[in-house]
A = this chain, B = another copy of it.
Amino acid sequence: MAKLYKQLFSQFGWTILLYGLGMGLLLVVLQTARYRFLILDHAQELYFGLIALLFTGLGIWAGRQLTARLAKPTKPLSGDALEQTLAKLGITPREYEVLQLIAQGLSNQEIAGRMFVSLNTIKTHTSNLFSKLDAQRRTQAVQKAQAIGLLSGTHPKV
């Protein structure tokens, strides 16, 4: 449990904390303000609208913050860093080969032919690869791999 928290925190930093604080603060302010200045009866709708607007804005802001961290762009790794990343993800050499061929737009059949193994073998490799990359599709795997820097620049094959 503490591990999950730590991971989340390291990933999102202060964003969540700040968001929670802001949320609580706003609620408190609004509450006290309600009892102090605006005790008008039918001002409820106005309150709802205001809160809705405010938290919509906050939501957009928070969304931007979070996606900004998740969509962090990176440069292609090389040599040592590459192997380290591969090891961390548990991606085997053979799987990495497959990944590179996938990124070049080859089908499983073509990959099988190029690597002199059966189609089923490639399927196994891709399946394992996807689970290690937390991907459901080959395009997603390529996208994630590029985001991490596992793949060098595109090879203009044709």
Flag whether A67 is at the interface (Cβ < 8 A): yes
Flag whether A90 is at the interface (Cβ < 8 A): no
Interface hit among A2-10, A79-87, A139-147: A139-147
Interface residues of A in 74-127 (CB under 8 A from B): 102-107
Given contacts A59-B62, A105-B143, A141-B105, contact A153 B52 (CB under 8 A): no
Distance A79 CA – B68 CA, assembled complex (angstroms): 24
Cβ-defined contact, B146 with A153, below 8 A: yes
Flag whether A1 is at the interface (Cβ < 8 A): no
Q: Residues of B contacting A102 with CB < 8 Å? A: 139
Cβ-defined contact, A147 with B137, below 8 A: no
Flag whether A11 is at the interface (Cβ < 8 A): no
Q: Name which of A23, A59, A103, A146 has the most chain B CB atoms within 10 A of its CB.
A: A59
Cβ-defined contact, A139 with B105, below 8 A: yes
Contact with B along A133-156 (1 / 0, CB 8 A): 001111111111011000101111
Q: Residues of B contacting A144 with CB < 8 Å? A: 105, 158
Q: Which of B59, B147, B155 contacts A56 (CB 8 A)?
A: B59
Given contact pairs A51-B55, A154-B154, enumerate 12 new A-B contacts (beta carbons under 8 Å).
A27-B52, A31-B48, A51-B51, A55-B55, A55-B56, A58-B59, A59-B63, A60-B63, A105-B144, A138-B139, A139-B139, A142-B142
| Top 9 closest pairs, chain A to chain B, by CB | A59-B59, A105-B140, A60-B63, A63-B63, A56-B59, A105-B143, A55-B55, A147-B156, A59-B60
